[in-house]
């Protein structure tokens, strides 16, 4: 499964299943850095360079997760 850029739809990183409950994590072979501009943390799309802003979230099972909430140009 892939996490795609919210602007262009290009692949940001691959996701892999952690368990049989559907929890997923970023693939260990991912070559994308988590960046920060002092306000937001984001993954910069390697295709269109949009900032895919992340937020911390908690799964229904209490596991820490990150989610891409919106983009910044």
User: What is the rounded CA–CA span in Å between residue 4 and residue 40?
Assistant: 19
Domain residue limits at 63: 2-72
Report yes or no: 25 and 64 within 8 Å, Cβ to Cβ. no
Using DSSP, state whether 8 is helix, strand or coil.
coil
Give pTM, 2 decimals. 0.81
Query: Each residue's pLDDT tens digit in the chain (73 positions)?
Result: 899 999 999 999 998 888 887 778 888 888 899 999 999 999 999 999 999 999 877 777 777 777 888 998 7
Q: How many domains does the chain have?
A: 1
d(CA 14, CA 66): 14
Alpha-carbon gap, residue 62 to 69, rounded angstroms: 19
């Amino acid at each position: 499964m892939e996490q795609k850029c919210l602007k262009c739809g290009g692949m940001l990183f691959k996701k892999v299943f952690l368990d049989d409950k559907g929890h997923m994590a970023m693939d260990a072979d991912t070559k994308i850095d988590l960046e920060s501009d002092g306000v937001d943390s984001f993954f910069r799309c390697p295709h269109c360079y949009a900032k895919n802003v992340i937020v911390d979230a908690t799964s229904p099972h209490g596991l820490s997760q990150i989610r891409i909430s919106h983009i910044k140009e």
